[in-house]
Homo-oligomer: A and B are copies of this chain.
Amino acid sequence: MTKTLLAALFITLLSGAAGAHDEPAPAVSGSAMTATLVRIRDAAVVSDYAYRQTAMLSDEVGPRLTGSKGAAEAVKRVAAELRALGLEVKLEPVKVPHWVRGEETAALVDWNNRAEGLSHKLAITALGGSVATPKKGIRAEVVPVRDFAELTALGRENISGKIVLFTAAFDEQMAAAGRAGDAYGGAVAYRGLGASKAAALGAVAAINRSAGPIGNHQPHTGALRYADGVAKVPAAAIAAEDSLLIERLAAKGKVTMQLLLTPQTLPDTDSFNVVADLKGRELPDEIVLVSGHLDSWDLGTGAQDDATGVAAAMHVAATLKTLGLTPRRTIRVVAWMNEENGLKGGTSYAELHTGDIAKHIAALEMDYGSGHPTGFAANVTPATLPLLKPIGEVLSGIGAGIVDFRLTGVGADIGPLNKLGVPGFAPLTDGRDYFTIHHTAADTLDKVNPRFLAENAAVLSVLAYALAEGEPLPRLPVTP
């Protein structure tokens, strides 16, 4: 079947125009389909199901770092809830890293014109995967650098034996202007790559200004990636306020830091993706996957990152069950393990399902908090976009009508599926406030607005059902 024909069919399905093709007739007529999507939207948006599941994960389970008791308990609870909805639930094994945070303290112990006995305590947190400092800690000069170019320009003679501080700021104006993801992208490279870049020039540790707005004096954790062939040095994030303090003091003279981090990397351990099917009535082997990630960082309770995503995916099944709707294809709810520090859930799933990847019609993930959704983002071929317009029209009834074309992935866990050709989708969520609490102790249930969460769940519900009913979308090109 050509893509053009496919497009015509999909539009027919949703637009209400009568179709006359030699392909199998759509399960429902266009106008009936629109009415059904409106019913799903309106049922989803008034339900508190996702909020209750978020509260369960955030309050009753708490932090869910991969390998922790909280993560294991979350698997059990979510599986039980999905079974209670009547879904077919499997736990798919995933071998995961097991990193545990230890003590973490840092202080400035000397600076220009310091009086005897004074120090500045810093708000610091180890990056996920960091090695520990020696037990007595590290005492060294801190050298602030604006970016990798400045690091390179300073060179080994100025970096060797020092602690490098990457001072790149999260651009708050950019975030306020609606481009929070781009603002995050501009800062997070230093968290991910800074340790090895600094170590390559002889640094003894790397610190980064937290990848989030200034104001709450919280350090934002997150994963780092050590490069092969370079010494692994301890790495941590400090509050934006403390980064500015060091910049100011360093402008006047040498600044010395005392740093202690005692995290441990334990042997890889066993965990699971929770995979739960609402079986399709006509094409049960074909799958529309809707998901969030179950693991979280350990500082807060991962309410927005990503209990809301898991809960909203569960909400899709709950809504269809409430309405007594069985989709044409299977809608598969997945709660991923280990998005934060390894992505083992997403990569394992893609490996395990290589054989039936062609049966995966679409993959949805929600992992950007639960602010008001303004629509959805689609990682699809350009030709697919017009096919999605009718879905956007249904969602415009809750202010979520934008269909945003993306050439890049829209969710980390579904990235491996996208690379195998599966179109990807995510709610287009207002993320202006998301990075204030992202990966901090402040990511707690009170940050979740129940109405906005239900709106995101409605986006997923309408989108998943429409994709499960209509003809398959064009596949993405397979990339290595």
Contacts and interface: CB of A to CB of B under 8 A. Distances in A.
Interface of A: 55, 59-62, 69-70, 73, 76, 111-120, 123, 214-218, 239-241, 244-245, 248-249, 300-301, 436-437, 440-442, 444-446
A244 B446 contact: yes
Contacts of A55: 248
Nearest to A56: B113
Contacts of A244: 444-446
Contact of A216 (B70, B115, B442): B442
30 contacts: A59-B245, A59-B248, A59-B249, A60-B111, A60-B113, A60-B114, A60-B249, A61-B118, A62-B119, A69-B115, A69-B117, A69-B118, A70-B118, A120-B301, A123-B441, A214-B446, A216-B216, A216-B217, A216-B218, A217-B300, A217-B440, A217-B441, A218-B218, A241-B442, A241-B444, A241-B446, A244-B446, A245-B444, A245-B445, A248-B445
A271 B215 CA distance: 33
A153 to B, nearest CB: 27
A264 B419 CA distance: 60
Q: Among the interface residues A112, A218, A300, A441, which one has the most CB atoms of the partner chain B within 10 A? A: A441
A160 B238 CA distance: 42
Contacts of A300: 217
A446 to B, nearest CB: 5
Contacts of A115: 61, 69, 73, 76
Nearest to A217: B442
A201 to B, nearest CB: 28
Contacts of A216: 215-218, 442
A114 B73 CA distance: 10
A264 to B, nearest CB: 17
Nearest to A117: B69
Contacts of A117: 69
Nearest to A440: B217
A241 B446 CA distance: 7
A397 B436 CA distance: 37
Q: Which 9 residue pairs are nearest across A and B when measured between Cβ atoms? A: A216-B216, A217-B442, A69-B117, A73-B115, A241-B444, A217-B441, A244-B446, A62-B120, A241-B446
A244 B448 CA distance: 13
Contacts of A70: 118
Contacts of A112: 60
Contacts of A61: 115, 118
Contacts of A59: 245, 248-249
Contacts of A215: 216, 436, 442
A441 B117 CA distance: 20
A118 B73 contact: yes
Nearest to A442: B217
A72 to B, nearest CB: 8
Contacts of A114: 60
A311 to B, nearest CB: 16
A120 B63 CA distance: 8
Contacts of A437: 217
A176 to B, nearest CB: 16
